[in-house]
């Protein structure tokens, strides 16, 4: 097990670190971890850190309709090729940061997903070797303004609001991703539960397919789709994405301040 974090410590940072095996200490790193893990300075206590999103992606690629039960609950057809879309890096927030519900939407949903973090530049990489380009795995909440997704017919606004892409709490580099449980909790209620063995398009296919379209860079994130059970988030709730073998990504939900004054909500 190796867990890579990004953090601020005593006002210094952001910095990269590697959580030590016993979990209470973090080894600061000299630079981003993709090429090599280079220690820099003495270990610091984990509980003194403010964790940030463990990625600085050039892009986040979402995959729609990639679990059969979710396709059924949305009333969609089974896809014949992966349905990909882009989310802006500006939507990324880290563990504990607030998901802000904007004005002009009446329905904002959680979508718990396994995130794949790219470790090496990928250009048209064949499926058979694609997994060798993966750096590790993290939890993603593909927060979606469901009403705008339906009315727009495209996803950029519905999934592109600031704070709509929580990522974290760290990158787990040693995960076997083929059959892990993906769950979502809202406060104490279990909302979503699925296993990555139910993915319609598995990770090698997704990586090959996406890299046949666009160059993938270290730190880019592929959010692999959500299991069934998507549902609404409201001000004051806390949402938790839990991917087996990685950990838990917690985020509070708040109404964005300008939501109150909006005249056309």
Residue whose Cβ sits closest to Mg ion? 142
Work out how close the CB of 142 gets to Mg ion at its nearest, in angstroms, rounded to a whole number: 3
x/- mask, Mg ion, residues 39-78, rule CB under 5 A, reads ----------------------------------------
Nearest distance, CB of residue 228 and Mg ion, angstroms: 12
| Biggest CA-to-CA distance, the chain | 54
Span interacting with Mg ion, options 11-19, 38-46, 90-98, 223-231, rule CB under 5 A:
223-231
Q: Does 226 bind Mg ion (CB under 5 A)?
A: yes
What number of chain residues touch Mg ion (CB under 5 A)?
A: 3
Q: Which is nearer to Mg ion, 181 or 259 (CB)?
A: 181
Contact letters (x/-) for Mg ion, 108-147, by CB under 5 A?
Answer: ---x------------------------------x-----
Nearer to Mg ion, 100 or 142 (CB): 142
CB of 143 to Mg ion, least distance (A): 9
């Amino acid at each position: 097990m190796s867990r890579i974090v990004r953090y601020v410590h005593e006002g210094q940072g952001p910095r990269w670190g590697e959580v030590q095996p016993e979990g209470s200490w973090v080894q600061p790193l000299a630079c981003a971890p993709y090429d090599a893990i280079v220690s820099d300075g003495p270990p610091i206590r984990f509980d003194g850190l403010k964790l940030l999103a463990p990625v600085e992606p050039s892009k986040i690629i979402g995959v729609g309709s990639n679990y059969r039960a979710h396709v059924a609950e949305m009333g969609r057809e089974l896809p014949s090729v992966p349905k990909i879309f882009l989310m802006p890096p500006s939507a990324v927030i880290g563990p504990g940061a607030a998901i802000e519900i904007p004005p002009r939407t009446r329905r904002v949903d959680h979508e718990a997903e396994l995130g794949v973090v790219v470790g090496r530049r990928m250009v048209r990489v064949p499926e058979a070797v694609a997994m060798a380009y993966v750096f590790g795995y993290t939890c993603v909440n593909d927060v979606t303004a469901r009403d705008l997704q339906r009315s727009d017919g495209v996803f950029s606004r519905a999934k592109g609001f600031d704070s709509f892409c929580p990522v974290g709490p760290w990158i787990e580099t040693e995960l076997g991703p083929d059959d892990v449980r993906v769950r979502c909790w809202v406060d104490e209620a279990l909302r979503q539960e699925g296993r990555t063995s139910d993915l319609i398009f598995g990770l090698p296919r997704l990586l090959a397919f996406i890299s046949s379209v666009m160059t993938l860079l270290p730190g880019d994130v592929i959010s692999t789709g959500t299991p069934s059970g998507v549902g609404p988030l409201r001000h004051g709730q806390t949402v938790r994405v839990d991917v087996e073998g990685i950990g838990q990504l917690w985020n509070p939900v708040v109404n964005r301040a300008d939501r109150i004054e909006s005249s056309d909500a």
